Amino acid sequence: GAVVSQHPSRVICKSGTSVKIECRSLDFQATTMFWYRQFPKKSLMLMATSNEGSKATYEQGVEKDKFLINHASLTLSTLTVTSAHPEDSSFYICSARVASNEQFFGPGTRLTVL
């Protein structure tokens, strides 16, 4: 099946710094990727839809200036958490959509902001 990777798997940063998370489709091209946030023992919340070559579409309540998304190629989307604060600590998961419309998920990135 299609494989999606995320890097890093874990990151710890200081409050006020920015963190970039990469999402790659390893064996297929994905024009659309999705970014989710998962709180402890909670469900996934869709943050934004990332489309290659165009601006991301953010869900209501998600700050686009805080969570910068770039989908520069058909195999890479990045999420940058700018000026991170402890409340941004979470598990961030990306997925990539294939031609059949199925989504394949990355393993997630655990962000801890001190």
Partner 1 sequence: GDSVTQMEGPVTLSEEAFLTINCTYTATGYPSLFWYVQYPGEGLQLLLKATKADDKGSNKGFEATYRKETTSFHLEKGSVQVSDSAVYFCALNLAAGNKLTFGGGTRVLVKP
Binding footprint of partner 1 on the chain (CB under 8 A): 4, 6, 32, 34, 41-44, 46, 49, 93, 95, 97, 101-108
Q: How far is the CB of 23 from partner 1 (least distance, A)?
A: 11
- Whose Cβ is closer to partner 1: residue 49's or residue 82's? 49
Shortest distance in whole angstroms from residue 15 CB to partner 1 = 25
User: Vertex 77, ends 73 and 81: CA angle to 5°?
Assistant: 145
* Minimum CB distance to partner 1, residue 83 (Å): 26
67-73 and 109-113 as β-strands: parallel, antiparallel, unpaired? unpaired
How many Å apart are CA 9 and CA 6, to the nearest integer? Answer: 6
Residue with tokens 């710094």: 17
Which residue type sits at 90? Answer: S
Query: Based on CB atoms, which residue is closest to partner 1, 4 or 56?
Result: 4
CB of 77 to partner 1, least distance (A): 15
d(CA 58, CA 99): 22
Asked if 53 contacts 97 with a C-beta cutoff of 8 angstroms, the reply is: no
Nearer to partner 1, 75 or 109 (CB): 109
- Residue (14 or 61) nearer to partner 1, CB: 61
